[in-house]
Amino acid sequence: MALGTVPFIYYLFPIAPKWAKAILVVMMGFAINIILFTGSRTGYVAFFFFVVFAFFMSNAKKKFALYAIALSLVSVPLVPQDYVGRFSSIFTGEDKEGRSTELRKEILKDACKIFIAHPLGVGVAAFPAVRRATFGRSQDTHNLYLEVATNLGIQGLIVFLIFIYQMMKTLLGITRGAFSQLLKLEEITRNIRAPSDAQRDITNHIEDLKLIRAVGSAVFMFMIIRLALGLFGMDLYEIYWWFALGLTIALYNMSGIAQEKTENILRSNTISLDSRIA
């Protein structure tokens, strides 16, 4: 869960007040510490996915790259050598502490065979029992996508992928819409001198849009992290997806209200400008 806090800290930091920034810095320090010292290869891979996607979504890629390099220079030397060996085993396939990689491959092969034998699924959380009956081994899939496929079948996998696609598409639409509105409103504040109350209302609305954009980006990256973790773990029945869905629905409703308010502000200021020109 420490890894799941990283995107929220990262995207909320620029818009947070000074006292909140201090708290977020401390939280990020704890999160990075947990990620480093758990020694989880899955956590390392998911964090790498976050960094790559955050880089491509960033509007200031050079600045992001400099911060990423600085963070790497500080944190990488702190990683215990044993954990470095665990991470390198992802690419070498050699485990110093046991047969973890070999066992995972065995589980994946068994899961694929069970899915082929039961394309409509074996039932919720029933994979270990079916695997025991079929192969005499009872470990679960350790893979989100095979967990969905074996438990819920091809139809469940399709629904799950559509669910993920629609949420991520909605979140991208929310963040891009908020960014577009921000550009228009910032232009209004530069070119039109509104009365103090109206100016304050526009400023508050801009802050709301920044929050919507930041949380939307954070939830999107939260899902990227969960999908990356799903390559080596399984969390179909965990709360993470409900958490992401709830925030997505809330942001969608908020963005609709924000869009309407933005249109009203733009309309009223356009009319005001036209009357002054006339």
| Residues 5-21 pLDDT 10s | 999 999 999 999 999 99
Q: What is the mean pLDDT of the chain?
A: 84
pLDDT at residue number 99: 60
Confidence of residue 199 (pLDDT cuts 50, 70, 90): confident
Q: Could you tell me if 273 and 154 lie in one domain?
A: yes
DSSP letters spanning 55-80: HHH-S-HHHHHHHHHHHHHHHGGGS-
| Residue 57 shares a structural domain with residue 127 | no
Report the range of poorest mean pLDDT among 66-80, 124-138, 175-189, 202-216: 66-80
Say what the pLDDT of residue 83 is.
59
Q: Are residues 36 and 164 in the same domain?
A: no
Kindly list the distances between the CA atom of residue 203 and the CA atoms of 20, 94, 180, 188, 261, in Å, as whole numbers in the listed order.
20, 57, 16, 11, 12
The answer to whether residues 214 and 228 belong to one domain is yes
Residue 85 scores a pLDDT above 60: no
Q: Which of 68, 98, 128 is the last residue of a domain?
A: 98
Least confidently predicted of 84-93, 122-131, 139-148: 84-93
**CA pair distance 212, 207, nearest whole angstrom:** 9
**Which of residues 98, 119, 138 is at a domain's end?**
98
Question: 258-270 burial string, b = 16+ CB within 10 Å, else e?
Answer: bbebbeebeeebe
- Alpha-carbon distance 64 to 13, whole Å? 14
What's the pLDDT at 16? 93
Residue 67 pLDDT > 90, yes or no? Answer: no
User: Pick from 77, 98, 119: which residue ends a domain?
Assistant: 98
Q: Are 220 and 171 in contact (CB under 8 A)?
A: yes
Residue 91 pLDDT > 60:
no
How far is it, in rounded angstroms, from Cα 99 to Cα 78? 26
Is 92 a residue whose pLDDT tops 90?
A: no
Comparison of pLDDT for 176 and 66, the residue scoring more = 176
Q: How many CB atoms lie within 10 A of CB 218?
A: 22
> Which has the minimum average pLDDT: 71-85, 145-159, 241-255?
71-85
Q: What is the pLDDT of residues 29-62, one digit of tens each?
A: 888 888 877 767 777 788 888 888 888 888 777 8
Q: Which amino acid is at 243?
A: F
pLDDT at residue 121 tops 70: yes
E-assigned strand segments in the chain:
none
Calpha distance 12→191 (Å, rounded): 28
pLDDT at 233: 84
- pLDDT in the model for residue 223: 94
Q: Residue 191 pLDDT more than 70?
A: no
Give the whole-angstrom CA distance, residue 99 versus residue 109. Answer: 15
User: Do 200 and 83 belong together in one domain?
Assistant: no
Does residue 94 sit in the same domain as residue 106? no
What is the per-residue pLDDT for 274?
46
Cβ(123)–Cβ(151) below 8 Å: yes
Say what the pTM is.
0.85
Q: How confident is the model at residue 278 (pLDDT cuts 50, 70, 90)?
A: very low
Rounded to 5 degrees, φ, ψ at 42 are -60, -45
- pLDDT above 90 covers what percent of the chain? 50
Question: According to the model, what pLDDT value does residue 235 have?
Answer: 87
Residues 40 and 163 reside in one and the same domain: no
Residue 74, pLDDT > 80, answer no
Taking the alpha carbons of 182, 185, 191, 193 in that order, is the dihedral positive or negative?
negative
Based on the structure, what is the number of domains in the chain?
2
- As a whole number of angstroms, the distance between CA 151 and CA 236 comes to 10
Question: Domain check: are 87 and 108 in the same one?
Answer: no
Kindly state whether residues 254 and 159 are assigned to the same domain: yes
Q: Are residues 49 and 103 in the same domain?
A: no
For residue 221, the enclosing domain spans 99-278
Burial of 185 (0-12, 13-18, 19+ CB in 10 A): buried
